[in-house]
Amino acid sequence: MKKKSKSIFQGGLGQLTIPVIAIALLVLFNLIRDPSFFSIGITHNNDGNAVLAGNLISIVNSASELAVLAMGMTLVTAACGGQDISVGAAAAIAGSTFVKVLKSGGSISGLTVLAAFLMACVVAMLFGTFNGTLVAVFKIQPMIATLILYTCGRSIAYWINGGATPTVSSPILTGIGSFIPGIPIPTPVIIVVVVAVIFRLVFHFTSLELFTQSVGINGSAARLNGINVTGIKLLSFIILGLCVAVAGCIGVCRLGLINHETLLLDVEMDTILAVAIGGNSLGGGKFRISGSIIGAYVIQMLTITLYAMKVSSTDVKAYKAIVIIILVVIGSPVVKSRFEKMMRQRQERKVPVTAKGAK
């Protein structure tokens, strides 16, 4: 009895308790509100492919950029104990670079798309290095350091393409941003899975997870154990840069255009929220990437639910704020410890014999 509850509240879900409860509540709420909310159907899109459709698909699909960014942000948060608020602006730069390269060639082939993506990655990683250097080498608070790029990033994006909203169109891009013929699952969703798997593999084949957590929890001790603290922090920003490039390119491919002003607008706050809802401490240290991914889906499910309820999108932000306050409060140490205590007391009342027997 005692063991079982322990495994649920400490071992089993642990950090993931809050995001999982949040998802469960949202699902429950929607089921009561409108049981058909989660129905998934197969339709034929305008290219004639059979594809999955429904709110659930919309949620998972539209959360893709957020999920990718949240993964990278988790790492930065863990290592540096602060957040990068320039991801939206950096994504606009990466997306603009992507479009710039695509438009510089003649026709768009798979190779040019790959080249454009790699270029976007390089550029985003360079900006990541810039942020990372300010944070890791010059020891500037992450929020302050990234405020610079946050402020000027979209202007840089503007310069890359000389303004307006350049468009690119190609079946390849549609394949990336929407559906690949023959595959009924939205490509961005597949990309999220791929990125998550890559993270998993990186954690498996390197010591990134252990080192990042050590640096985040106790930088001084990490240094004295031979860890290159500056390097780990820098690396976290570079990895976030890669995530930014992926997110930016997905965003561009979805619509075949880059609007430097609106691409992934305000995404930085949602990203940070996803990390927080995922049960990760914003002060750094221990983290779980999976929590942040779920966090991203929580945020998106909330948005889509509100849209489905025809809540005016100007009000959506307010409702979001309310739900988030509730989640964050539930996840706070105070409530958690109260709850744990309550559970313990209940058990002790139930099995007083064991307690005495143990003695």
Partner 1 sequence: MKKLGALLLAGTLMMSFVLGGCGSSSAPASSDSGAKESKATEAPASGAIKVGVVNNPPSESGYREANVKDMESVFSADNGYELKTFYSLKNDEQLQAAQGFITEGVDYLLISAAETTGWDDVLKSAEEAGVKVYLFDRMIDVDESLYEAAVVSDMSAEGKLAVDWLLAQNLPEYNVIHIQGAMGSDAQIGRTGALDEQFASGKMTKVVQQTATWDEAEAKKIVESVINSGEKFNVIYAENDGMAKGAVAALDEAGITHGVDGDVVVMGFDCNKWALRELLAGKWNYDGQCSPFQAQVISDLIKGNKTASEKKIINEEKGFDAKTITQEDIDTYGLGE
Partner 2 sequence: MAMQESNLLEMRHINKFFPGVKALSNVDFTLRKGEIHALMGENGAGKSTLIKVLTGVYQSDGGEITVDGKNVAIRSPQDAQNNGISTVYQEITLCPNLTVAENMFIGRERGPFVRQKDYKKRAAELLGELGIPARGTQQLGDCSLAVQQMVAIARAVDMKCRVLVLDEPTSSLDDKEVNVLFNLMRDLKSRGVGIIFVTHFLEQVYAVCDRITVLRNGELVGEYLTEELPQVKLVAKMIGKDLEELKSLGEVEEKKSDIKEIFYEAKDLSSSEARPFDFNIHKGEVNGFTGLLGSGRSESVRAVFGADKVTGGQVQVNGKNVRITKPIDAMKNGIGYLAEDRKRDGIIADLSVRENIILAAQVMKGFFRPISRSEAEAFADEYIKVLNIKTASRETPVGSLSGGNQQKVILARWLLTHPNYLILDEPTRGIDVGTKLEIQKLVLKLAEDGVAVTFISSEIEEMLRTCSRLIVMRDRNIVGELTGADLNEAQIMKTIAGGEAANEKEV
Q: Taking the complex as a whole, how short is the minimal distance between the CB of residue 264 and partner 1, in angstroms?
A: 8
| From 105, 110, 261, 325, residue interacting with partner 1 (rule: CB under 8 A) | 261
Length of the chain: 359
Give the whole-angstrom CA distance, residue 293 versus residue 271: 10
Core vs surface per residue 259-289: b (16+ CB within 10 A) or e: bbeebbeebbebbbbbbbbbbbbeebbebbb
Q: Does 329 help bind partner 1 (rule: CB under 8 A)?
A: no
Q: What would the two tokens of residue 307 be?
A: 């849209």
Task: Report the residue number, 14 or 184, with the smaller CB distance to partner 1.
Answer: 184
Give the whole-angstrom CA distance, residue 274 versus residue 223: 30
Give the whole-angstrom CA distance, residue 276 versus residue 271: 9
Q: Does 58 help bind partner 1 (rule: CB under 8 A)?
A: yes
Q: Does 333 help bind partner 1 (rule: CB under 8 A)?
A: no
Task: Report the residue number, 31 or 210, with the smaller CB distance to partner 2.
Answer: 210
Q: Taking the complex as a whole, how short is the minimal distance between the CB of residue 46 and partner 1, in angstroms?
A: 4
Give the whole-angstrom CA distance, residue 211 versus residue 67: 23
Q: Does 190 help bind partner 1 (rule: CB under 8 A)?
A: no
List contacts with partner 2 (CB under 8 A).
Answer: 6, 10-11, 204-208, 210-211, 213-214, 217-218, 220-228, 285-286, 340, 344, 348, 358-359
Q: Taking the complex as a whole, how short is the minimal distance between the CB of residue 169 and partner 1, in angstroms?
A: 9
Quick check: helix, strand or coil at residue 136?
Answer: helix
225 binds, among partner 2, partner 1, none (CB under 5 to 8 A by kind): partner 2
Task: Report the residue number, 86 or 280, with the smaller CB distance to partner 1.
Answer: 86
| From 4, 12, 266, 351, residue interacting with partner 1 (rule: CB under 8 A) | 266
Q: How many alpha carbons fall within 13 Å on the CB side of residue 21?
A: 17
Task: Report the residue number, 28 or 351, with the smaller CB distance to partner 2.
Answer: 351
Write out the binding residues for partner 1, residues 33-52 only, by CB under 8 A: 36, 43-47, 51
Write out the binding residues for partner 1, residues 127-146 only, by CB under 8 A: none
Task: Report the residue number, 43 or 345, with the smaller CB distance to partner 2.
Answer: 345
Give the whole-angstrom CA distance, residue 69 versus residue 266: 12
Query: Other C-beta atoms within 10 Å of 311: how many?
Result: 15
Task: Report the residue number, 11 or 48, with the smaller CB distance to partner 1.
Answer: 48
Q: Which helix (H) or strand (E) covers residue 140, if one does?
A: none
CB 316 within 8 A of CB 307: yes
| From 104, 312, 332, 345, residue interacting with partner 1 (rule: CB under 8 A) | 312
Task: Report the residue number, 225 or 332, with the smaller CB distance to partner 2.
Answer: 225
Q: What residues contact residue 241 under an 8 Å CB cut-off, 6+ apart?
A: 72, 90, 121, 124, 125, 126, 127, 128, 129
Footprint of partner 1 (CB under 8 A): 36, 43-47, 51, 53-55, 58, 62, 147, 150-152, 154-155, 158, 163-167, 177-179, 186, 251, 254-257, 259, 261-266, 303-304, 307-308, 310, 312-314
